[in-house]
């Protein structure tokens, strides 16, 4: 088999066979196929596309390029959740203890953030003493004992995807639907869950800006998951403004705790409760969404969800008292308000740029080697459709460097658009798709 022949075949719009895709991914992962040839293949795929069958075969080849996490020793249906990412997305922190308290085992491998926000691992590590560096044995043991564990990705899951994504990033071939879907799903399939609930964001703070593109991506991922024998659900959710009010690692954990106490922002609660309900449905714990939502609400109201979160923190070496005393979190030394310069309704928020404000303060990573400051970030006081008086606080900025705080404050003013007329607020759940 020659890579030249496969490039020519795809360039001419022909369908690649399963053994050809498997050989190509295997050889590229081993370093036997040079980047320049794989770049040509990615460009050929970009223009010619992949059939459904090719997309599934490519995903499975990437998933099989490294280790698989075997969750079979954990009783019950294992349900994983994946978000396509956004600003203020601390969903896993509140979601996992709720579903674990309701009897759905959560064995989750998560990543660190690169870019304007921290990842789930960065947020959890803002809890004093919390460790995400678990051995696979301890990880499995913890899920069996308390129903939930989240660890930093240590296994070599889908190494082909890591190589391919780095290549696509520098060859202008990232935004091809089949390649995006196979990249996400190769890692999810290798992580071993029986069912997967996807949170696909859409809006100005999401990777997919348009709802039709988010829906197309969701359909592609559902098709892949179904082809691999997984139960799939995709929720299309709004990212035209930050999720909740908190943006920044420790600040987001505090908001998740508040939500587990039954408080928290309405938009965040709505998303968490619905994702939890669909995870319960996928695990066979109930037959209807309405019943699942009732179970979720009761779990939070009874305090069981918060208790599970405390148990989870304690099991991974953290101090569970953070749930009662938020002063135990890392604290910023500078706290400044951002006051509105005019009166009117918040018509639009440039969500991604709010994430950049947090990055400027040190809440994200500009490079893989950047060190995150867990104490910095923003708490928003006004969201889309809210009314702001002149001189009223739009947000509170938390920082540890006066120059950075000043830069973030100046940047923040560019993110908020105030109009005289009230804008209609988008609903959080835009659509739900099933396999």
Is residue 80 very low, low, confident or very high in pLDDT (cuts 50, 70, 90)? very high
Contact 328, 319 (CB under 8 A): yes
**Site of tokens 């996490």:** 69
DSSP state string for 139-206? HHHHHHHHSEEEEE--S---HHHHHHHHHHHTTT----HHHHHHHHHHHHHHTT-SEEEEEEEESTTS
Considering only CA atoms, which of 225, 185, 212, 168 is closest in space to residue 44? 168
Is residue 115 very low, low, confident or very high in pLDDT (cuts 50, 70, 90)? confident
* CA 152 to each of CA 72, 112, 333, 365, 397: distance values in angstroms, whole numbers, following the listed order: 20, 8, 29, 16, 29
Is residue 167 very low, low, confident or very high in pLDDT (cuts 50, 70, 90)? very high
Structure tokens at 425: 């607020």
Residues 75-86, mean pLDDT to the nearest whole number = 95
Contact 191, 80 (CB under 8 A): yes
Considering only CA atoms, which of 88, 5, 95 is closest in space to residue 41? 5
List CB contacts of 114: < 8 A, sequence separation 6 or more: 364, 365, 368
Helix (H) or strand (E) holding 234: strand 231-238
3-state secondary structure of 430: strand
Helices 211-227 + 177-190 axis angle, to 10: 50
Helix (H) or strand (E) holding 356: helix 351-361
pLDDT of residue 399: 98
DSSP state of 71: -
The structure's pTM equals 0.96
CA distance 384 to 1: 56
pLDDT of residue 112: 85
Is residue 111 very low, low, confident or very high in pLDDT (cuts 50, 70, 90)? confident
Q: Specify which residues 231 forms β-bridges with.
A: 195
pLDDT of residue 361: 97
pLDDT of residue 155: 76
Q: How many CA atoms lie within 13 A of 33 on its CB side?
A: 25
pLDDT of residue 366: 84
CA distance 376 to 393: 18
Considering only CA atoms, which of 186, 142, 177, 171 is closest in space to residue 29? 186
Per-residue model confidence as pLDDT tens digits over 8-51 = 999 999 999 999 999 999 999 999 999 999 999 999 999 999 99
**Site of tokens 């609660």:** 269
Q: pLDDT exceeding 70 applies to what percent of the chain? A: 100
CA 2 from chain centre, in angstroms, equals: 38
Per-residue model confidence as pLDDT tens digits over 360-393 = 999 999 887 889 999 999 999 999 999 999 999 9
Contact 206, 34 (CB under 8 A): no
Contact 69, 139 (CB under 8 A): no
Is residue 117 very low, low, confident or very high in pLDDT (cuts 50, 70, 90)? confident
- Mean pLDDT of the residues in the chain: 96
Residues 202-222, mean pLDDT to the nearest whole number = 97
Helix (H) or strand (E) holding 266: helix 266-282
pLDDT of residue 422: 96
- Which amino acids are annotated catalytic? 82, 161, 168, 183, 187
CA distance 311 to 97: 9
Per-residue model confidence as pLDDT tens digits over 252-279 = 999 999 999 999 999 999 999 999 999 9
Exposed e or buried b for every residue in 332-346, given b needs 16+ CB within 10 A?
beeebebebeeebbb
pLDDT of residue 116: 79
């Amino acid at each position: 088999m020659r890579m030249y022949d496969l490039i020519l075949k795809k360039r001419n719009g022909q369908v690649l066979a399963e053994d050809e895709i498997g050989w190509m991914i295997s050889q590229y992962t081993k370093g036997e196929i040079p980047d320049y040839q794989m770049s040509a293949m990615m460009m050929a795929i970009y223009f010619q596309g992949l059939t459904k069958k090719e997309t599934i075969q490519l995903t499975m080849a990437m998933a099989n390029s490294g280790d698989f996490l075997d969750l079979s020793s954990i009783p019950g249906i294992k349900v994983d959740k994946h978000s396509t990412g956004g600003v203020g997305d601390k969903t896993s922190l509140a979601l996992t203890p709720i579903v674990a308290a309701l009897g759905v085992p959560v064995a989750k491998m998560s990543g660190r953030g690169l870019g304007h926000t921290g990842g789930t691992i960065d947020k959890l590590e803002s809890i004093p003493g919390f460790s995400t560096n678990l051995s696979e044995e301890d990880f499995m043991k913890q899920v069996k004992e308390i129903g939930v564990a989240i660890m930093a990705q240590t296994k070599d899951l889908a190494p082909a995807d890591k190589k391919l994504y780095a290549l696509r990033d520098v060859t202008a071939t990232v935004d091809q639907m089949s390649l995006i879907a196979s990249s996400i799903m190769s890692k999810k399939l290798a992580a071993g869950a029986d069912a997967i609930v996807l949170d696909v964001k859409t809006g100005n703070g999401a990777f997919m800006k348009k709802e039709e593109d988010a829906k197309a991506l969701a359909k592609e991922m559902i098709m892949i998951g179904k082809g691999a024998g997984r139960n799939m659900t995709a929720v299309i959710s709004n990212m035209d403004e930050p999720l909740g009010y908190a943006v920044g690692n420790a600040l987001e954990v505090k908001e998740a705790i508040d939500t587990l106490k039954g408080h928290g922002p309405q938009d965040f609660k709505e998303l968490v409760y619905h994702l939890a309900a669909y995870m319960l449905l996928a695990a066979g714990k109930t037959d209807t969404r309405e019943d699942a939502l009732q179970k979720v609400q009761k779990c939070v109201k009874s305090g069981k969800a918060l208790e599970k979160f405390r148990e989870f923190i304690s099991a991974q070496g953290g101090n569970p008292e953070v749930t009662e005393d938020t002063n135990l979190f890392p604290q910023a030394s500078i706290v400044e308000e951002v006051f509105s310069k005019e009166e009117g309704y918040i018509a639009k928020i440039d969500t991604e740029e709010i994430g950049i404000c947090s990055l400027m303060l040190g809440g994200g990573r500009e490079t893989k080697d950047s060190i995150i400051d867990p104490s910095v970030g923003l708490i928003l006081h006004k969201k889309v459709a809210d009314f702001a008086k002149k001189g009223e606080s739009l947000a509170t900025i938390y920082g540890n460097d006066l120059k950075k705080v000043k830069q973030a404050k100046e940047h923040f003013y560019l993110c908020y658009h105030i109009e005289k007329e009230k804008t209609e607020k988008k609903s959080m759940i835009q659509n739900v798709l099933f396999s």
